[in-house]
Structure 1
């Protein structure tokens, strides 16, 4: 190979590394701001895998400095992404009452109610959070027998995507809703699980960052998510957050005293959206169960639900004992 060709190959290699370096820096330092960086940062796990290509090329072509730079980029991605794939088993799971929860976005109430009820029964679900909850969706869930399995509810159906509900096996108290700046509602309530401290549950659904016009409401809605209360009820915040652990705004929510259950269980790379046959781009993890740090996580599983573009997220949580 001539010297000129070698030089051009080196230039091309650095040009391949540069965008991944910029992406990794943006993720590490939380530099996403507005369209399109907010949208792109959700695909960081895919960028992490593809970033290994320029590293391999640098090694194979013996470009030492390019290989060092590419390796640094790959390490930065690995630090951000790989922990979600590794279960946090430190100390094991303490003894305490088990709370089984699930969250599902019904896509304007169109999700298959029979499948949702089957998942509730098969998983022995105690609390179900529902987003994009409509009158038609409520009627369909009732007809499918949901209220037989989860007899109490705090429900605010709407004709658009802003409806919200929480269904419970145990009696609910202090029922209400949070009306977000973006227009969506978040149903919430308190529930007393036998043998456990009081639990506060909320069905989360900030608006989606679909472009320049909606990025502001997305940030405002995430900022409005309630903080955990270490001296009060055990908080469980679950739903369609329209954000991933790669978004700084969502990490700020988690930092309010929560753990992401899937992250703790080693299932943080299980994707939840889009799962509608009309969509073709790579899926990301928008649906989450956040539990405050007094709660242990036994497992997290995602389930595809016919009629919805979101997967349901199921989690088995271990609550602190009452008075503990």
Structure 2
């Protein structure tokens, strides 16, 4: 006799209490790890190797912090989900403003100054490409780091002196050389040398119709290992404050720091804003750009401007022969009185 009863599918076995417990523990561990990272970023707690290096990758941590939140929601674990959401919001508050243009701030009416920064990697960057970028972008002011005698000669032979005839140059062997090139008249203000032996060319620029501009080609010591974290903090702390009642201050170059580092935020607190942040391009990475590197990019090259300066545009360009991209910014300067 054939049975007419329907065969019901077997129910999936319920998760065992042990398995559920371990998943909950794993979620809390993930949330805790991201919470520690977020706290270090929010409160500026990074100190020493490798924390200083890791904090540069905060935008990537912000994206990854969504994983425990999604997992907690999908598995209906309320308190881990709440904690993960708080952590994700903290990351978003730190990172997302760099992606949003401050267009509501407007751009003041004044003379335009187009600036660019390039780290030449011990003078080895392609000089022809640098000069091409200067010409195509109608660059008025170029800040150069890791500027050597060989780099200076190569730039001259490529025609940079024709495009930007005024220069304050301090070539050095290795990574400590610095220069400022300009279409407008320059006054040499010397070479700011740090105890780390890194240094920065200083100059004032006379832009027609604008207040006097003071500029430095920035390059502090890099926090490349535990022994150099101290000089990195010290060099950044030595960056000059803006002068709201005096010349317009520009700090342009390789800061070896991202906006997630408290040491750089302390520089901003001296009266500056980051041009890429203002333009909504603050998450565009500038280093490393080189076939020898296999790590995610970070944003360590910046144009910091006096808060009186407007920002129309920021762009990043690859340059052959260096591990840094060139950073271009179109700025609007406050008018000179009268």
Determine which of 217, 221, 225 is the counterpart of 1:211: 225
* Structure 2: stretches of 5+ with no match in the other structure: 1-14
Asked if 1 retains the 8 angstrom alpha-carbon contact of 2:317 and 2:327, the reply is: yes
1:153-185 deviations in whole A, cap 9, x for unaligned? Answer: 000001110000000001101431100121112
How far residue 16 of structure 1 moved from its aligned partner, in angstroms, is 1.4
The equivalent of 2:76 in structure 1 is 62
Task: Supply the distance in 2 between the matched residues of 1:5 and 1:136 (Cα, whole angstroms).
Answer: 64
Determine which of 169, 189, 211 is the counterpart of 1:155: 169
- TM-score, normalised via structure 1 length: 0.99
How far residue 5 of structure 1 moved from its aligned partner, in angstroms, is 1.3
1:117-138 deviations in whole A, cap 9, x for unaligned? Answer: 0000000000000000000000
Aligned length: 324
Determine which of 66, 91, 107 is the counterpart of 1:93: 107
Task: Supply the distance in 1 between the matched residues of 2:148 and 2:252 (Cα, whole angstroms).
Answer: 18
List 4+ stretches of structure 1 deviating above 2 A.
none
The equivalent of 1:37 in structure 2 is 51
How far residue 12 of structure 1 moved from its aligned partner, in angstroms, is 1.0
The equivalent of 2:207 in structure 1 is 193
Q: What SS does the aligned partner of 1:90 have? A: helix
Determine which of 131, 134, 153 is the counterpart of 1:120: 134
Structure 2 matches for 1:153-302, cutoff 5 A? 153-302=167-316
The equivalent of 1:25 in structure 2 is 39
Task: Supply the distance in 2 between the matched residues of 1:257 and 1:176 (Cα, whole angstroms).
Answer: 22
How far residue 93 of structure 1 moved from its aligned partner, in angstroms, is 1.2
* Structure 1: stretches of 5+ with no match in the other structure: none
Task: Supply the distance in 2 between the matched residues of 1:213 and 1:4 (Cα, whole angstroms).
Answer: 46
How far residue 3 of structure 1 moved from its aligned partner, in angstroms, is 1.6
How far residue 281 of structure 1 moved from its aligned partner, in angstroms, is 0.6
- Structure (1 or 2) with the larger CA radius of gyration: 2
Task: Supply the distance in 2 between the matched residues of 1:201 and 1:142 (Cα, whole angstroms).
Answer: 22
The equivalent of 1:5 in structure 2 is 19
Q: CA RMSD of the aligned region, Å?
A: 0.8
- TM-score, normalised via structure 2 length: 0.95
